[in-house]
Amino acid sequence: MSIIYDQIGRSIEINKPIQRIVCVVPSLTELLYDLGLGSKIVGQTKFCLHPKSEFKNATKIGGTKTIQIDKVKNLKPDFVLANKEENTQDQIEEIASFCTVYVSDIKTIDDTLSLIIELGKILQVEEKAFQIHSVIKNDFESIPTMPPLRCVYAIWYNPWMFAGKDTFISHLLNTVNVQNVVSVNRYPSLSLEEIKELNPDIIFLSSEPYPFKEKHILELKEVFKSTKIKLVDGELLSWYGSRLMYSKEYLIQLRASIGNN
């Protein structure tokens, strides 16, 4: 038996090799598949879209905040991988009453790197975990210095909601010196007038969780006459885990497409 601590400080007992996994975090489901654990994943949410080749036939257990707990229980998992922000505390605590649950808490790239190594140990795929860890670590240590730009990052429409300063999104953008000017934490609802007062150089419209389109750019241009507005790939800018192996290149291309204002 070994005792470990998850990323919110909960102690967890691992008594035997893990054979049946349920993951309720889309980006971490993708990581588990990339770690070679697909045959052990017995359940995932309807938002765990990647890898697409596995999604159609995967057993779905609801949404990230609407987990069908009875369905999870019937799958008899011996390990459930969750996230402090993406899942609901009451649901995770209920699942923890009948199964081992590891709760991740990701705000930085370093948090992700630590999680990858920890999951490698817990799930006995240390070599593959180290390979993914090394790619991400080396990528983000080699980003060139760039002049600063001020941004806001929209995640929802009606009401308008934006990524706050303490989010993983904000951290990732900052690696290419794109600085989030929303000083509030988490995901505040702000009016367009409040955003105008922040005077961003650019407004990013994410592809998820709300699927912004060109029509939203046209709407914003009525208010922001000279501010740049750009649709961006929400998965590459908010998914942690193995998706980060592709984020550096996207960030650099995105930064180059914006220019130096």
Structural domains of the chain in order of their starting residue, each with its CATH number: 2-139 (3.40.50.1980), 149-258 (3.40.50.1980)
pTM of this prediction exceeds 0.85? yes
Cα 47 versus chain centre, distance:
12
The answer to whether the beta carbons of residues 116 and 241 sit under 8 Å apart is: yes
Token code pair at residue 163 = 């990524």
Query: Is the pLDDT reported for residue 87 higher than 90?
Result: yes
Burial (0-12, 13-18, 19+ Cβ within 10 Å), 48: buried
For residue range 216-254, what is the model confidence (pLDDT) as tens digits? 999 999 999 999 999 999 999 999 999 999 999 999 999
**Rounded-to-integer distance, Cα 1 and Cα 128, Å:** 23
- Residue 18's pLDDT band, with cuts at 50, 70 and 90, is very high
- How many C-beta neighbours within 10 Å does residue 237 have? 23
Residue 260's pLDDT is: 66
For residues 33-38, average pLDDT: 98
